[in-house]
A and B are shown apart, each in its own frame.
Chain A
């Protein structure tokens, strides 16, 4: 009965979404205070129902109820409990249910925390989110129903892709969806503001934290995904410019731009129209990502055409949401009143500059992702656009953005003096020269590595300098500096951490790309090989049986140049139900880099194929990601009113309008 309650709750949530996408708009246009009170209740009821339904599906998975088709297709009694639970969203139907659950969760959070918002704005925001929920609930119930039943249930299921039976990838989709769907809040606020025809101060105060929360989740989700690819796929890669990855990266780029322009709206009452546009863009990219991943268009355009029900449905939703909101934007945005004025050289100016670069970068990724699809549709020719395209477009676009990231926080609002700012950065310039010399002396190149290390140093030192200048470190007694540090708004610490995190990521990418060494060889038990000063010895092999797999585990003993001994135990597993092999790499992480070992199959001479990597600096990448997330959380905890103090004009300077 629980399964059917879940199914009914899902249908009832569709009904709620229908009400939620109509009643709040009527209430807002009629300004009927009683009807306005219904709007938040609709959002909360909708979430409660989708949540019930999700819980019921989880129950079916945990109890291995094979009368549910979805459970048959994606579960097995021998799976450990944790992967029975994560199996709920490790498939198409369940993951769409998770998507909608997070959407309704956000809508009900807006409803619950939004009591200090103007009621008509709140109602319209809830209404817009209701329309999105309605679309996706219809999609689930009509094309991807997770509650389909069979009369004669089989005694066991078909299991789950073993690559996904891993803690990292298990929590990756929820984080990613929290990010994707989090942008729906900013989107709903943007559309509601367009309908209302005004962007009031409360609007700006609301959009920033929601965007920031979504950004934090998305950053964490992307980081987890690349970390998983690194340790689970078994060849040490971490980012492939794969369309699925691009699908999550585009909303991240647009969301990062949105985050920064939302700051300007909140602090300076400027860039409203541009911020609204970015909010629409960020969520549109999220929807596009969902479409690309869920329609089957990526595996091949042909697969999409043979079973077009799902794909066409999401495509329709995508066009409706993106097209509708952009049309509304074109129609209403000119009526929005422009706010504060600023000069091109100012903190606003720096933020706009970065916004533009981030948007161009997102557009390049979009082009590289969609071009092969378009080409295959039109000519039937299959091409793949890979790393060379993205590296040669993305890097030149992001380089000036990273250089400018240091200037932005150092400039005052409204107008700034570029030379004065450069003066403050003397130490950063010196540090860059020092790092370049040391890198050249230690590694001797290659050129792109020097470039990347220089860039990372510039950003890191510049960011720290800005922070120390705010607390006047070394420019007075240490006690004063500590007091100033405590008094500094948490969002300032957040900015510092997030920017420093980017610098650490850049250094990690550069170092691991430039100086990774690898070797593939066949080793008998007791044989050794030397790679980059490390002696790798295949000490022993054993076979053992896991809950739902059999594994061959190698013990690799490594003597490092520093005379330390490290033992790694890479495995090769075969999951019995699915009959699929997976590799479990053995990784030793340290501050200087990773040592990475993979065990393969037996070769014709009875030796074992092994692959070893020494990857300098690669853990920096995920450390940097973590620091970015911490920065976002720190800034999120800062709930003060934020006002940006403008710099006074010393002479009569011409100003440009903000929009």
Chain B
């Protein structure tokens, strides 16, 4: 409330200051008002008279010779004469004007209206509800953040120690397959994909090239390559597929390899087979479905009716429909490529708008970044990535997720 009193006082002060002459002006009677037209010519004459005086001073100081001064004087006197003539003709023709216009009340009202418009504009733009937040007054928050970071780093330290213990144990007892798997998974969680590769590779070798371990190994290779499915990963995946393993990662990453080789249709076929065969409560289902939808829209591939599984609630953010729904997808299938492109751009910009209004939606940001990357707009993807990082600057877990997403999409991380 205080703020409105201050802003109101400021408005009154400014309004009063500028309109003061109007209020005072009414007490000036019309005959007192000078004739501004003649006044201007009189001012000119005054300037010329000052110039003549200046010439005299210049002679005194020896800057001008008498001869130069005479020449200058004649010129100034000529100008005085012509101004004099104009004054004469002006007063003869009675050109002088009235100096009290009936516009004064109009000006007053106009100014007041403008002030009201200003207040309206501010209500639209400003955030009077937000207090100042100087850093000096935010000691509590800084403390809390520091503690959280300490807890985080303690946890990481403990985790790292556990990993170290585990790997020491495995050196003594290298045939512990579950141990290698645990070590690999832990290293993956710590973001040390290259070391995870070695752990999983041990498991693969010592298990007689078990399909499930091959799939884990492939995933660690792909992660270490920033999301690229290289020849090694592909070989491991294909071997795993032949071994009859049902690990969903195999088909998913083989699909990703197809997509990265430009064969998105094959990728979608693979993924659709994967989801249709999956249990309805599989935790990875929403992610793969999302991937299918995005790729299908981006490539304009009709997938209507091909997905037979009904996923559980896709998103854990409540109710809002964040992606294209089935009807939109079906409609998209019947469009020309241009129309489809337009629809995609429309949906992306809707999402961007929604996030602008309600930015506290990490999934939405991830989807937006991915969407920009898919429609081949790296600048905007970069921008969305920066904004998202900004938005969740105090959440290290989300930040890590965003940077791995950026790495996957090839967005430069600065």
Contact = CB atoms under 8 A, between A and B. Distances in A.
Contacts of A66: 133, 135
29 contacts: A1-B3, A4-B3, A4-B7, A4-B130, A7-B126, A8-B122, A9-B10, A11-B121, A14-B118, A15-B114, A16-B18, A19-B18, A23-B107, A34-B104, A35-B103, A37-B25, A38-B107, A65-B133, A67-B133, A154-B390, A154-B393, A202-B47, A340-B75, A483-B62, A484-B62, A487-B63, A489-B63, A641-B50, A646-B75
B114 to A, nearest CB: 5
Given A45-B18, A119-B36, 8 more contacts: A3-B132, A4-B7, A5-B10, A8-B10, A8-B126, A33-B36, A37-B21, A201-B79
Interface in A4-46: 4-5, 7-9, 11-12, 14-16, 18-19, 22-23, 26, 30-35, 37-38, 41-42, 45
Nearest to B7: A8
Contacts of B2: 1
Nearest to A119: B36
A147 B37 CA distance: 46
B130 A31 contact: no
Interface in B209-244: none
A72 interface: yes
B170 interface: no
Q: Chain A interface residue count: which class? A: 35 or more
B307 interface: no
A647 interface: yes
Contacts of A11: 118, 121-122, 125-126
Task: Classify the interface of chain B: helix, strand, loop or mixed.
Answer: helix
Q: Which of A9, A22, A155 has the most CB of B within 10 A?
A: A155
Interface stretch (B66-74, B171-179, B283-291, B317-325): B66-74
A453 B18 CA distance: 58
A479 interface: no
B134 interface: yes
A69 to B, nearest CB: 9
A647 B74 CA distance: 12
Given A12-B11, A643-B51, A31 B43 contact: no
B69 A12 contact: no
A201 B127 contact: no
9 nearest A-B pairs in the assembled complex, by CB-CB distance? A34-B25, A63-B134, A645-B68, A15-B118, A64-B135, A37-B21, A487-B61, A645-B72, A67-B133
B76 interface: yes
Contacts of B99: 31-33
Contact of A34 (B21, B131, B134, B145): B21
A399 B69 CA distance: 35
A269 interface: yes
Given A18-B114, A45-B18, A120-B40, A5 B100 contact: no
Contacts of B141: 155
A33 B33 contact: yes
B44 A200 contact: yes
A19 B141 CA distance: 45
B131 A31 contact: no
Contacts of B114: 15, 18-19
A33 B132 contact: no
A77 B135 contact: yes
Contacts of B39: 118
Contacts of B63: 487-489
B14 interface: yes
B265 interface: no
A392 interface: no
Interface in B372-395: 379-380, 390, 393-394
B125 A141 contact: yes
A306 interface: yes
B280 interface: no
A146 B150 CA distance: 35
A34 B107 CA distance: 11
Contacts of A3: 130, 132
A641 B133 contact: no
A151 interface: yes
B254 to A, nearest CB: 36
A77 B67 CA distance: 70
A443 to B, nearest CB: 42
Contacts of A1: 2-3, 6, 131-132
Contacts of B346: none
Contact of B47 (A42, A151, A205): A205
Contacts of B117: 15
A493 interface: no
A8 B145 CA distance: 33
A123 to B, nearest CB: 11
Contact of A641 (B7, B47, B130): B47
A475 interface: no
B79 to A, nearest CB: 7
A641 to B, nearest CB: 4
B158 to A, nearest CB: 25
Contact of A31 (B21, B97, B111, B145): B97
Contact of B104 (A18, A32, A119, A489): A32
B19 interface: yes
A1 B114 CA distance: 24
A49 B17 CA distance: 12
Contacts of A32: 99-101, 103-104
A153 interface: yes
A640 interface: yes
Interface in B1-51: 2-3, 6-7, 10-11, 14, 17-22, 24-25, 28, 33-34, 36-37, 39-40, 43-44, 47-48, 50-51
A45 B69 contact: no
Interface in B132-158: 132-136, 138, 141-142, 145
Given A11-B125, A200-B40, A2 B71 contact: no
Among A11, A16, A116, A648, residue most surrounded by chain B Cβ atoms (within 10 Å): A11
- Identify which of B18, B62, B111 gathers the most chain A CB atoms within 10 Å of its CB: B18
A63 B135 CA distance: 6
A500 to B, nearest CB: 21
Contacts of B128: 4
Given A77-B135, A202-B43, A643-B55, A26 B107 contact: yes
A137 B229 CA distance: 53
B64 interface: yes
Contact of A35 (B3, B28, B107): B107
Contacts of A445: none
Interface string B334-368: 00000000000000000000000000100000000
A67 B137 CA distance: 12
A108 to B, nearest CB: 12
B266 interface: no
B19 A38 contact: yes
A310 interface: no
B18 A5 contact: no
B281 interface: no
A3 B126 CA distance: 10
B269 interface: no
A469 to B, nearest CB: 13
B330 interface: no
A141 B136 CA distance: 29
Nearest to B45: A201
A7 B53 CA distance: 51
B36 A63 contact: no
A590 interface: no
A145 interface: yes
Interface in A284-328: 306
A149 interface: yes
Most chain A CB neighbours (cut-off 10 Å) among B24, B39, B114, B131: B114
